Amino acid sequence: MIMKTYETLFEKLFAAKDYVSGAQLGEELGLSRTSIWKAIQHLEKEGLIIDSVKNRGYKLLSGDLLLPQHISNNSPIFVSYNPQSQSTQLDAKEGMQEGNEPNTLYLAPTQIQAQGRFGRPFYTPKQGGIYMSLHVRPNLPFDELPAYTVLTAASIYQAIKNLTGIETQIKWVNDLYLNGKKLAGVLTEAISSIETGLVTDVIIGVGLNFAITDFPDDLANKATSLFSGQTPFTRNDLIAEIWRIFYQTDEDTLIQIYKENSLILGKMVTFEKKNFTYTGKALALSNDGHLLIELTSGEQIWLTSGEVSLKSWEE
């Protein structure tokens, strides 16, 4: 696939880290200054902030460009990119109906109707976030399914650590936290066949705050971003690394990563079940992602889904 002019220009500006003259860019890319200027305008429409100084040229201040081909070249997946996405989960479902192959990643720069667990809307700015849904086709009984949410969360943790050295924490069952604030979430949907009883398809949705500087007031104290300002690498690099790890790391290793970096194990938590609020200590995680809680009464129960809150966060 041949890269577009603005895509090539973005890569030049990102690599430069400083001002590059229009003449130099034109010479390196074989383009006129007018073509360079039009490509700069296109990048700015994509939400990138580019400074222009007479006699110095252009400098990328913040933002990046999603490059599906870069991701496909560096991970074992095909990428379907939709710049006008309502929701990447919906994109994946439409792709399935159209007969697209599994192991396709549906990617978008933002989402018009983004939804998290329980249909909750979530914040998706035009620039700085990662919004993607992976379609896989397990064709397995429900009780034999891999713990996709666990495997994905662990892959995100390891990808971030590999590229930055930053260690996040995983909050059961589907969130990643950094410095006590939410950084990423995973939403997994399964589709089963009435005829066979098998889970035929699974869609794994991921939302990750990569380089978001301004959150709405109601999220400012709850959400965080991996970076602020210009970043040392692009979203493409992190996306490719997440799915490379997901496909190329054995399940036991990813499950162990998930357990070792749990935010809640050994801590007091609260949760709701059948309209009652319970308090207990999070004791263990099973390999299929279930959470063992010891209630204040001494009773031990396994939670298979739902949400828990750290007791210390409520006080």
pLDDT string in tens for the chain (315-residue length): 678 999 999 999 999 989 999 999 999 999 998 999 999 999 999 999 999 999 999 999 999 999 999 999 999 999 999 999 999 999 999 999 999 999 999 999 998 765 555 455 557 778 899 999 999 999 999 999 999 999 999 999 999 999 999 999 999 989 999 999 999 999 999 999 999 999 999 999 999 999 998 888 888 889 999 998 789 999 999 999 999 999 999 999 999 999 999 999 999 999 998 889 999 999 999 999 999 999 999 999 999 888 888 876 655
The residues near 299 (Cβ < 8 Å, ≥ 6 apart) are none
Q: What's the fold here for domain 68-261?
A: BirA Bifunctional Protein; domain 2 (3.30.930)
In CATH, the number for domain 5-62 is 1.10.10.10
Distance CA 223, CA 207 (A): 12
Q: What's the fold here for domain 267-309?
A: SH3 type barrels. (2.30.30)
Task: Check if the beta carbon of residue 270 is closer than 8 Å to that of residue 278.
Answer: yes
The token duo for 268 is 């007091």
Q: Is the peptide bond before 206 cis (omega within 30 degrees of 0)?
A: no
Q: Please enumerate, by residue number, every residue annotated as part of a binding site for biotin.
A: 111, 182
Q: What is the pLDDT of residue 127?
A: 87
Domains of the chain, residue spans: 5-62, 68-261, 267-309
Predicted TM-score (pTM) above 0.75: yes
Distance CA 188, CA 116 (A): 10
Q: What is the pLDDT of residue 273?
A: 86
- Locate all alpha helices (DSSP H) within 68-181, ordered by sequence: 68-73, 88-97, 148-164
Q: Please enumerate, by residue number, every residue annotated as part of a binding site.
A: 111, 182
